[in-house]
Structure 1
Amino acid sequence: MWSISATGMVTGLGLIVAIGAQNAFVLRQGLRREHIGTVTALCIISDALLIFGGTAGIGALVSRFPAALEILRWGGAAYLTWWGIRSLVSALRPSALTAQAPRSKGTVILTTLALTFLNPHVYLDTVVLLGSLANQYGPDARWTFAAGAAVGSLFWFTALGYGARSLSGVLNRPRTCQVVDLLIGIVMLVLAARLVLG
């Protein structure tokens, strides 16, 4: 059982560690020291719901409705484009992240949820792919695999968010923040382009 759980954790980490919109936002919030507990908790809970949903068979349902994924693709591309341009504009006016106007908790929650659920890749990777891999272990062991993947998500988002927060004192300089905003803007626009191009 431990080996199945470890396989789930490594597979889950392999899918979420790659830089993406969600990870970039968690990093930014950590550097800002703003609502990081809320952001990491939302990411962890969302991932767990998607992983266990895929394991329960929702992945097959998602695969049968390509129109829903198409809507998510265009909505996600529009949102990522807006976020990327906003980050690039912010990079043109460098200031320390903690010196920028704080965002309300509601705004941060909505942004976290949008960056998580408007991304069609989250359904393909987390729901369909992880769900399919989990179901290869049979009716009982599949939940062990899914739990391992969820634990990997918990470790990753906690380390990313709180690691960034602990380094924010060192990294919270206008020049560093300009580079962070520039990189986030580029990542968001590249991800948006990938969504548009399919």
Structure 2
Amino acid sequence: MQAALAGFSLGMSLIVAIGAQNAFVLRQGIVRAHVFPVAAICAASDAVLIAAGVAGFGALTGALPWLETAMRWVGAAFLLWYGLRSWRAAWLGEGALRAGAAAGSLRAAVLTCLALTWLNPHVYLDTVMLLGAVSAQYEDRTGFALGAMAASVLFFFTLAYAARLLAPVFARPAAWRVLDLGIGAVMLALAARLASGQ
């Protein structure tokens, strides 16, 4: 039980910080579009990454040092594109229009969610390497992994479904402009961090 609680605590602390994936989940929750699939993809992806980290998959990046650099640049390019797209939506006032149009197709939401999750090199550093390294301290590594996975499930579904409480605020187009500006700023800041190697 101690290992599971430690995994839950560390997993939650790594997920809570606002990032590209969380901003996307929040947006989908506000517009109530494809909420369950998006939250499920995030939680399932984390489960796979946590399992890989606890199983020792972090050694792969040690064996292939170029992999981290390649992932970092691909991730930075994607975040740059997504951030500029958000700022364009804020400039043109497209956020409220997209919300009214069901915020896009399920396919687009799934592909964006997968890209924001799997093209982010920090997810490999945090979820795979850090959680994997910390899990080695515990005899019950499975319990540690299950605790971290439970934190991920709790966080993503809570974020996705609680976001609908903000819907009255986003009945005004100006609120969408502010949200898109904020999401764009987060994406571009993360892209800059990745490009600088931080």
Instruction: Identify whether the pair has TM-score above 0.5, normalized to the shorter chain.
Output: yes
Matched-pair contact (CA < 8 Å) for 1:98–1:172: no
What does residue 78 of structure 1 align with?
77
Once the two structures are TM-superposed, the CA of residue 92 in structure 1 deviates from its matched residue by: 1.1
Secondary structure at the counterpart of residue 131 of structure 2: helix
Deviates more, 1:166-175 or 1:119-128: 166-175
Q: What are the superposed Cα offsets for residues 58-99 of structure 1, whole Å, 9 maximum, x if unpaired?
A: 012223222111111111111000000000011112252522
What does residue 150 of structure 1 align with?
149
Structure 2 gaps of 5+ residues are none
How many percent identity over aligned positions?
51
Paired with 2:169 and 2:181, the residues of 1 have a C-alpha distance of: 18
Deviates more, 1:88-97 or 1:7-16: 88-97
Paired with 2:27 and 2:62, the residues of 1 have a C-alpha distance of: 33
Paired with 2:7 and 2:166, the residues of 1 have a C-alpha distance of: 29
Paired with 1:78 and 1:101, the residues of 2 have a C-alpha distance of: 27
Matched-pair contact (CA < 8 Å) for 1:63–1:128: no
Task: Note the 1:12-161 alignment, pairs <5 A.
Answer: 12-94=11-93, 95-96=95-96, 98-100=99-101, 102-138=103-139, 141-161=140-160
Structure 1 gaps of 5+ residues are none
Determine if the alignment matches structure 1 residue 184 to structure 2 residue 183: yes
Matched-pair contact (CA < 8 Å) for 2:33–2:102: no
Secondary structure at the counterpart of residue 136 of structure 1: coil
Matched-pair contact (CA < 8 Å) for 2:31–2:102: no
Paired with 1:125 and 1:63, the residues of 2 have a C-alpha distance of: 15
Provide TM-score, normalisation by structure 1. Answer: 0.94
Q: Provide the aligned C-alpha RMSD in A.
A: 1.3
Secondary structure at the counterpart of residue 58 of structure 1: coil
Deviates more, 1:163-172 or 1:84-93: 163-172
Residue 156 of structure 1 aligns to which amino acid in structure 2? F
